[in-house]
Amino acid sequence: MKNRFKKVLSLALAGVMSVSMLAGCGKGDSADGSASKSGKDSVKIGVLVADVSGEEAIGFRNYYEKYIQENYDVTFDYTDALESAEDEKSAIEKFASKGYDAIISLSSSDRAQQIETCEEYGVYYAIASGVLDEEQYETYKGYEHFVGQIGPSNETEFEAGKAMGEHFKSQGVSKVAIYGAFIPNPMHVYRAAGVIAGLGDTYGGTDDMNGMIGQIFGDQAIDLSKIEGDVEVVAYLQGYGDTTTDELNAAIQKAPDAFLSVGMATTFFAQTLSQNDIQFADIDSFTEMNLDSMTNGTLTYLAGKYSSSIGPVFALVMNAVNGNVIRDNDGNAVSLSQGYLVATDVDSFNQYYVTDNGDTPIYDKESLDSIIGDSVTFENIKTLVESK
């Protein structure tokens, strides 16, 4: 008994020693980092993420870690998939205590809390995916450390969905299935409402954006009984869980002319839909996997952003960290909307994919350099964003 106890105690002590040694290793790394900082500080940016799997999320990450990090004296530190407001706050606090200069957010459990926490710790904050609603923007636009948001506005999301619906209506589809992704996530609600409007249908008797999204938020889903119009929506599913596969199969059995998704279908359903020869559409990103779905599968419509579309947000943050906190003409945090690009065949997809791939992103070093600097103004940023 005693011997065994001794043995175990020695093991435990060895464990503690190992942890201490690891701590030593940590110091070594840090010392190197600090040495480089003593010359000219490398900018450290924490990135809050909720999705680590989606094609869009992977594209964004590759752009920051493989292109921006190579070309600028900056380090990106990604969180794990954040699930709640507490996770987000804790992540920001950890970044702040590590002396990070800024936070870029791709996570939206509680944006208000994120901004307030960054303000409290004096860390610059920017939104790269999704935008604040009007009320929230009004509340936080004057915060000192909130540098801004650049991404599709809610109206743009609605228009993206609408364009998808219109495209398929013009193709002559008579019945479709819709995947609402993660409704009530606002961007998915706006997109889904847009799809219905684009198909020429009404939801609860209206095709007005605000009228539709108000009802969808209330219903927490698309209620098929509320859809009226020429194009029949034969099936609707949302989320991803135990019954998703059954729901997808039930939808396929209704033989829709097209499967219209407002996000993540390329991740979850590409194989099954292609196998069943059902053409599908999605709002995502121009990535290799999606190119494969368009080339070899049945993806026929993709509204997407460039993976480098988050470049201007990086520029905003860099400027702020370097002392040039850019404000709009009213002196508020920057808020710019970005549109979607649409590919309906391999050629058009390739056009966007190839031009935004690897070492030659749309927002390459040259174009970003034009909006990073002490003399850069809001107009410079706005002009560049609107030109792409």
Partner 1 sequence: MSKGNKLKNSQMLIAILPIVALIVLFIVFCTVVQMNEYRLDMYLKIVFNEAVVLAVVATGAIFIYTLGTFDISLGASTLFAATLGVTVYNKTESLVLMILVLFLAGIVCSLFNSILASIFNIPAFVTTVAMMSVLSAIASQIITTDGGALGGISIPSSVVEPYTGVGFKILLLGLYFGICYFIFQHTKTGRRMKYIGGNPLCAGLTGIKANKYTIIAFVMAGIGVGLGAFLTLTYTPSVTTQTASSIGMNIFIAIVFGGMPISGGPRSKIYAALVGGFSYMLLNDILEILIDSSAAYGITQVISAVFFLAVVYVTSMNYRSQMLPR
Partner 2 sequence: MSTPKRIIHTLAIPVLVAVVLELLCLTQGQNIITNAKSFDNFVVYTAIVMITTMALSINLNSGRFDFSLGSMAALSSVIGAQITYSLMAGQKGSSFVMLIITLIVGVVLGLISGGIYVILRLPPIITSLGVTLIYEGILYTLTSGKYVMKTVQNNSMSAFVSTWVYAFIIITVVLIFMIVVFEKTTFGYDYLALKSGQKVAINTGIKEVKNALICYGICGGLMGIVGFLNAARNTTINGGQLNFGSIAIMFTAFLPMFIGGYIGGYCNEKVGYLLAAVCMSLLNSTFAVFSNQVTASTQSIINAVLLVVFLIYLNNNNLIKRLFRP
If you search the block for the tokens 């619906």, which residue do you land on?
A: 165
Residue whose CB is less far from partner 2, 166 or 223: 223
243 token code pair: 């019954």
Q: Looking at beta carbons only, is 184 or 229 nearer to partner 1?
A: 184
| Nearer CB in complex with partner 2: 228/247 | 247
32 and 87 Cβ atoms separated by less than 8 Å? no
Among residue numbers 61 through 90, which ones bind partner 2 (CB under 8 A)? 80-81
Helix or strand run (H / E) with residue 146: strand 146-150
Q: Give the chain's radius of gyration (CA, Å).
A: 24
Q: How far apart are the first and last CA of the chain?
A: 73
Q: Return the closest-CA partner of residue 313 out of 125, 155, 136.
A: 125
Contact status: 298 vs partner 2 (CB under 8 A): no
Q: How far apart are CA 21 and CA 135, in angstroms?
A: 51
Residues that bind partner 1 (CB under 8 A): 1-2, 4-5, 8-9, 11-12, 15-16, 19-20, 22-27, 29-30, 34, 78, 80, 83-87, 89-90, 93-94, 96-99, 108-110, 112-113, 116, 121, 133, 136, 184-186, 189, 213, 217-218, 220
Nearest to 147 by CA among 309, 8, 317: 317
Q: Give 225's DSSP letter.
A: G
| Residues 187-216: x where in contact with partner 2 by CB under 8 A, - otherwise, as a string | ------------------------------
Grouping H, G, I as helix, E, B as strand and the rest as coil, residue 357 is strand
Q: Which is nearer to partner 1, 185 or 351 (CB)?
A: 185
Residues 260-279 that bind partner 2 (CB under 8 A): 267-272, 275
Contact between 245 and partner 2 by CB under 8 A: the answer reads yes
Tokens of 283: 């709002």
Residue 231 CA, chain-centre distance (Å), reads 30
Instruction: Name which of partner 2, partner 1, none residue 270 binds, using a CB cut-off of 5 to 8 Å depending on partner kind.
Output: partner 2
If one asks whether residue 58 binds partner 2 (CB under 8 A), the answer comes out as: yes
Applying CB under 8 A, the span of 101-109, 221-229, 332-340, 374-382 interacting with partner 2 comes to 221-229
* Residues 136/111, Cβ–Cβ less than 8 Å: yes
Residues that bind partner 2 (CB under 8 A): 52-53, 58, 80-81, 220-224, 236-237, 239, 241-247, 249-250, 252-253, 267-272, 275, 289
